[in-house]
Structure 1
């Protein structure tokens, strides 16, 4: 029997206004040791939304001539990406610079961020909504980038956060890379000075 789309929350194809492909279903992050707990939490969340059948194969895809095929496709797209979105958000949450160079860290962060954006709905382009949305996304990417930096970059982080106009992610990246290069130059200069001092001491001692 065909399931007609409805605004009834009990209908299989009902979508709440807050539903979107980037919606986080559960708050506990998968850490490699809690798969069963996370799986159970996701199943409970989807079951509560009456959408579990879209990921366990219970709700088969209707034929192309079925009146519900469009509604089925929309709901299926909304929820079948949940595991990948969860994985991406987990990776983003755990990502930190650590021993990586700024360039490698930024590249990894940007790769995850860009994929996540493909699952996020964009507002209809009117009344400046698109610009506001893009500005918000840019600010969020800057904040994510800064939060993963090593504590030793706190000075340049403060400089970026104190800017009157929120910088683009590329500008923030450029400023941090510049700081990294300055440190490399200072380190090399100190190393040469120390090496020179050591050579002088050795030469003096050899003359005695």
Structure 2
């Protein structure tokens, strides 16, 4: 997808019109301080947190910023400033979805893609003690007498 597709040049003056489906579009409700997930990331449950953030970014048509689908354009491109603004917004959403101790350590990363990759490198580590505890929790999860099958299944899948 070419991000420059909605930009036109008239008499040497570049004008941009960003449509609502464009990944550079920021809706009036897209506030950079918005927390896109219910509970902040605290270095536990990385997979749940990353899934929730991806879902939020997909719903806002911004997931391409963290996957690399929407790379940074050249500084002379008509979309450069709009891309910077949208990318910084995505970075803010991600940073606001974490506890301050984690987000502060990532504050100087240069793009949302680099931020996402850094978080993944730090926290998406398969570790034996965590897997052992997870297996133990699943084995000890029981359906209580008055608990519905749906609630029990929910309990099992959230462990």
Q: Normalising by structure 1, report the TM-score.
A: 0.39
Question: Which position in structure 2 is the counterpart of 1:53?
Answer: 64
CA distance in 1, matches of 2:80, 2:27: 19
Question: Which position in structure 1 is the counterpart of 2:93?
Answer: 82
Query: RCO greater where, 1 or 2, for CA within 8 Å and sep 6 or more?
Result: 2
RMSD: 2.3
Question: Which position in structure 1 is the counterpart of 2:143?
Answer: none
The reply to whether residue 37 of structure 1 matches residue 48 of structure 2 is: yes
| Equivalent position SS for 2:98 | helix
Radius of gyration: which is bigger?
Answer: 1
Corresponding residue pairs, total: 92
- Displacement after TM superposition at 1:31 (Å): 4.1
- Displacement after TM superposition at 1:70 (Å): 1.3
CA distance in 2, matches of 1:83, 1:20: 12
Contact 1:54 1:80 in 2 (8 A): no
**Poorly superposed stretches of 4+, deviation over 4 Å:** none
CA distance in 2, matches of 1:66, 1:17: 24
Question: Which position in structure 2 is the counterpart of 1:191?
Answer: none
Q: Which structure: greater helix fraction? A: 1
5+ residue gaps in structure 2?
Answer: 7-15, 108-159
CA distance in 1, matches of 2:79, 2:5: 6
| Equivalent position SS for 1:87 | coil
5+ residue gaps in structure 1?
Answer: 92-111, 116-208
CA distance in 2, matches of 1:30, 1:20: 19
CA distance in 2, matches of 1:88, 1:37: 15
Contact 1:54 1:79 in 2 (8 A): yes
Question: Which position in structure 2 is the counterpart of 1:15?
Answer: 26
The partner residue of 2:73 within 51, 56, 62 is: 62
| Equivalent position SS for 2:66 | helix
Contact 1:3 1:68 in 2 (8 A): no
